[in-house]
Structure 1
Amino acid sequence: MKRRSFTPARIGIYAFLLTAALFFLLPLYIMVVTSLKPMEEIRLGNIFALPLQLTVAPWRDAWTAACTGVSCEGISAGFWNSVKIAVPSTVLAIFLGALNGYALSFWKPRGAQLLFGVLMLGAFIPVQVMMFPLVRVLGAIGIFGSLAGIVLVHLIFSMPVMTLLFRNYYASIPHELFQAARIDGGGFWRIFLQLMLPMSLPIIVVAAIMQVTGVWNDYILGLVFAGRDNLPMTVQLNNVINTSTGVRLYNVNMAATILTSLVPLAIYFISGRWFVRGIAAGAVKG
């Protein structure tokens, strides 16, 4: 018998999904329409209405002229600071995580299980617990409040998750492939660079998405460790929204918020298929 297209169960599922989508999209809709209105329309109080007089001036002001404390240069400086922090934090974290996962999966040095357990334990320690010791250590070696300091902090906190991802991915690779490379004379670095890394594209994409979004969305570490010259975009956004000087410009605040979130959203939309493929290829196995 031919199945009915719309059963009560299917209608209920679609109704639930539509309601959930509207629930999550409604704040985004309000943010977008508010960012495109002049303040005169916003003061009327109808937050759901479309703009009567469309304007992109709030977006321009948020990027180049919004006040972040005593400085009124917008959040563009914070954007480039976030890029300078996210790029090395991601590249180094992926390389070291892949190296750790490779060593723990194939070479298994003495104490490998203990080392892996310590790394996993570090993933469950709250950031706030380690903040003061890190401040003292970075201050002692002279890199507190610098770009190198904030990159090192992100690198430290990313190691447990990066190591777990790559170790589980490499554990799903047939061990015979590694043994064949050893028979052919491959050493530790040659096998890693010429065999393992080229095979790791799916999990590298997963790790890059997780690390970039984590670093980009970070606020507390950037506020404490970046220093005044390297404040990331999230800290600049907080300064724009919570500034106590002048009139509160809701349209500029909404535009600045959307601009800050564009990079993580773009990454998820562009790389979502690769993310699912990497997870399915062994990111959570082992």
Structure 2
Amino acid sequence: MSGGGSSGERPPVTLARVALWCGLGVAALFFLAPLVVMLLTSLKSPDELRSGTLLSLPAAPTLAAWAKAWGTACTGADCSGLRPYFLNSVAMVVPAVALSTAIGAVNGYVLSKWRFPGSETLFALMLFGVFMPMQVVLLPMSQVLGWLGLASSLGGLVAVHVIAGIPSTTLFFRNYFVGLPDELIKAATLDGASFWQIFRRVVLPLSAPIVVVTLIWQFTNIWNDFLYGVVFSGADSKPVTVGLNNLANTSSTVKEYNVDMAAALIAALPTLAVYLLAGRHFVRGLTAGAVKG
């Protein structure tokens, strides 16, 4: 019987497809080259750095630079490495991501399924925060943190990142929830479910894709932030990005590029791990929300 090929057949290999693969391969190598150089450099001894090239493989790979970057490298006058800064970032990121995501989910639920007079105006004003430059809020935010007694503290950094993240998380959830059938909410209301029961038992179970997107988005933005970290932190609450900057700019008799590269990789490991483990779900979540709202 004549007919089209099965849906599982591979597309034919053409010259255009081969050229596309080659172009993608070259682009991947171009973007991965800095990471490869950093990794190779971090595994070399100081003697190898002076005698080799950027892309030369380490003759005797060592984690000494990693150990020093973590525990004994100097960041200004302090020589305790990135460890305290890294722990500060963990203590800051976990509550900031959780709170901003939770508040954004509730806001998106209200603004999409429980509309009230002025809700569109409120959403538009909140959306303005997505496009507001971070530098604009530095002075007023500093004053507010001072009034609240949160200046130069981890609690203040958490508050800043939660407030800064609410517009984005609200936008994500609102656009996703608009696509959920209103009949589900009406049916649950007729069954006697309350506002929070509908949110917990009907809306949230259907929202896994956008929750993953928001968590990854917030985690990456907050972990990689430098401006808020350097402005609003104190001596004992600086995040890892500030510690990395201090380490790289600390002068010494001999510049230890292997330690600097190891420190940069340590600071980047959490975000790299998140994207390697959940990147596929991030793309799926974006795709799921792309045609909504």
TM range (shorter): over 0.9
Equivalent of residue 64 in structure 1, options 59, 66, 71? 71
C-alpha contact (below 8 Å) 2:184/2:202 kept by paired residues: no
1:130 maps to 2:163 = no
1:14-72 per-residue CA deviation (whole Å, 9 max, x = no partner) reads 22111101111111111111111111111125111111222110011111111111111
Superposition CA RMSD, Å: 1.7
SS at match of 1:43: helix
What is the TM-score of this pair, normalised by structure 2? 0.93
SS at match of 1:69: coil
Structure 2 unmatched ranges of 5 or more: none
1:99 maps to a residue whose letter is V
In structure 2, do the counterparts of structure 1 residues 284 and 219 end up closer, same or farther at CA, with 3 Å as the change threshold?
Answer: farther
1:273 maps to 2:285 = no
Query: Aligned ranges for residues 244-263 of structure 1 at < 5 Å?
Result: 244-263=251-270
SS at match of 1:78: helix
SS at match of 1:122: helix
| CA displacement at 1:195 relative to structure 2 | 2.1
What is the TM-score of this pair, normalised by structure 1? 0.96
| CA displacement at 1:193 relative to structure 2 | 2.2
Question: In the alignment, what sits opposite 1:169?
Answer: 176
Distance 2:291 2:248 in 1: 39
1:225 maps to 2:232 = yes
Question: In the alignment, what sits opposite 2:18?
Answer: 11
Equivalent of residue 86 in structure 2, options 72, 79, 85? 79
Percent identity of paired positions between Structure 1 and Structure 2: 48
Distance 2:11 2:223 in 1: 47
| CA displacement at 1:227 relative to structure 2 | 1.5
1:214 maps to 2:254 = no
C-alpha contact (below 8 Å) 1:166/1:283 kept by paired residues: no
Equivalent of residue 192 in structure 2, options 182, 185, 190? 185
1:59-89 per-residue CA deviation (whole Å, 9 max, x = no partner) reads 1111111111111111011111111110000
May I ask how many residue pairs the two structures share in their alignment? Answer: 286
Query: Aligned ranges for residues 154-165 of structure 1 at < 5 Å?
Result: 154-165=161-172
Distance 1:149 1:80 in 2: 16
In structure 2, do the counterparts of structure 1 residues 65 and 206 end up closer, same or farther at CA, with 3 Å as the change threshold?
Answer: same
Structure 1 unmatched ranges of 5 or more: none
C-alpha contact (below 8 Å) 1:203/1:283 kept by paired residues: no
SS at match of 2:241: helix
Distance 1:156 1:246 in 2: 43
